[in-house]
Amino acid sequence: MERGRWFVCAAVLPWLVAVAACGKGGAPAGRAAAPDTAKWTGMYVSDTLPGASGRGRLVHLAVGPDTAAALSIEFVGLGTTYHPGRWSSEGDLITLQPTRGDGKPTENPMTWRIEGTRLVPYRWDKSVYGATGLPLAKRVQPAVARSDSSVGAAR
């Protein structure tokens, strides 16, 4: 199951970066300053959550630079839905507004409150995402040891 999670992450992140790169030049006059991307950018994942089918669901939220975001929900054994959109933040709250390619909203926004490395559901459509919402935790990549090229066979 862990391999499947990484596959979804690997599939979503390049798309997210590409969407962010498609933004229009500079910010138009009067546009609010960009949110603190260093605080929010990254991949957030859920534990297996209960699903309406009884099989469970896994949730991945990729929060990228330039306010691009993508939510994917894997319904175990049934398939995955994708919800691309834009994110914004205010204080300790982050909101995802799923959108179509032309920027029009596709559903109600979802808002989480940050608590350390966790995103706790704050506002969401309970008729779609259930009574508990979609609690997530930031995926921290393990540190990679640097190789020491000065050690080895004499040449």
pLDDT tens digits for 105-131? 999 999 999 999 999 999 999 998 888
pLDDT above 50 for 31 = no
Closest alpha carbon to 21 in 66, 53, 51: 66
More confident residue, 98 or 18: 98
Residue 55 confidence (pLDDT): 76
- 133 Cβ contact list (under 8 Å, min separation 6): 110, 121, 124, 126
> Do 116 and 129 meet the contact criterion of CB atoms below 8 Å apart?
no
Yes or no: is domain 2-20+37-138 CATH 1.10.1200.10? no
Q: How crowded is residue 135: how many other Cβ atoms within 10 Å of its Cβ?
A: 16
How confident is the model at residue 140, as a pLDDT? 81
What mean pLDDT is predicted for residues 148-153? 62
Q: Considering the chain, what is the average pLDDT of its residues?
A: 78
Q: What is the pLDDT of residues 69-86, one digit of tens each?
A: 999 999 888 899 999 999
Q: What is the pLDDT of residue 126?
A: 92
